[in-house]
Amino acid sequence: MSKRAILILDGEEPNAVLVRRILDEESAAMIVATDGAAKYAMRHAIRLDAIVGDMDSLTQDAADFYDAQGTQIISMPEQYSNDFEKALRFIASTGDEVRLTVFGIHGRRTDHVFTNFSVMQRFTDDFEELVAYDETLIHRFLTTKRNAISLNLAMNTIVSLTPLPQAEGVTTRGLLYPLEDATMVFGERDGLSNRVSSEIGGAVAIRSGALLVSHMF
């Protein structure tokens, strides 16, 4: 049986109401923050099972607060990966099938955003589900292994498709601008602001490659 996990990154601060709603609805078995995000978690009284990172951004107040609660503080000082990747490695190492929700993916800088999506793509196949929230959108990757999704969205919900860097055999159902066995390449063809046009709620599949599926929530 899979378990639900939540990861909070030190990016743009997520909407606290949204985070609390997901925490309340999902009954997460594991809640993890990167070191810089621990201060956000402390401010909103979010329990943490672990804090992961190189610890260059962990404040003393947050360290003391979570140490007193028995939270694991896991230092990974190597600099060849960012804290998002370190946290994903830690969560994946539990050996369980995990459905993971990520907050704070935007990272405040454009280069951080691209890197975080690159990391997310690399780790998608390691999780039963890997989704990331920002202020307006939910993001997930389709890959050669995990190659289809039924979105179950309301009519007119915006759905964008971004190949990173390429997706073959892209096929959609229930979207206003349909695709059938299409090839999408970053820098050549993308799918910004499509819309759900059917009561089936929209569906996307690929044959191979990697496609970022982003939709309003």
Q: Which amino acid is at 195?
A: R
- Show Cβ contacts of residue 103 under 8 Å, excluding neighbours closer than 6 positions: 6, 7, 8, 9, 14, 18, 19, 132, 133
pLDDT attached to residue 1: 67
Distance CA 69, CA 50 (A): 11
Q: What is the pLDDT of residues 89-135, one digit of tens each?
A: 999 998 778 999 999 998 778 999 999 999 999 999 999 999 999 98
pLDDT of residue 109: 87
Note the pLDDT of residue 21: 86
- CATH number of this structure's domain 141-216, picked from the four choices 2.60.120.320, 3.30.565.10, 1.10.10.10, 3.40.50.720: 2.60.120.320
Domain residue ranges in the chain: 3-135, 141-216
Could you give the CA distance from residue 44 to residue 90 in angstroms, rounded to a whole number? Answer: 23
CATH tag for 3-135 (out of 3.30.499.10, 3.40.50.10240, 3.30.10.20, 3.10.105.10):
3.40.50.10240
d(CA 126, CA 95): 10
- Reduced to 3 states (helix: H, G, I; strand: E, B; else coil), residue 182 is strand
Q: Which pLDDT tens digit goes with each residue over 178-203?
A: 999 999 999 999 999 999 999 889 99
Coil/strand/helix, residue 16: helix
d(CA 166, CA 180): 15
Helix extents (H) in 27-143: 38-43, 60-68, 83-92, 110-123
Condensed to tens digits (0 to 9), the pLDDT of residues 133-167 reads 998 999 999 999 999 999 999 999 999 999 999 99
Per-residue pLDDT tens digits for 20-70: 888 887 777 899 999 999 999 999 999 999 999 999 999 999 999 999 999
Q: Is it true that 3-135 and 141-216 share their CATH fold?
A: no
pLDDT of 15 over the 90 cut: no
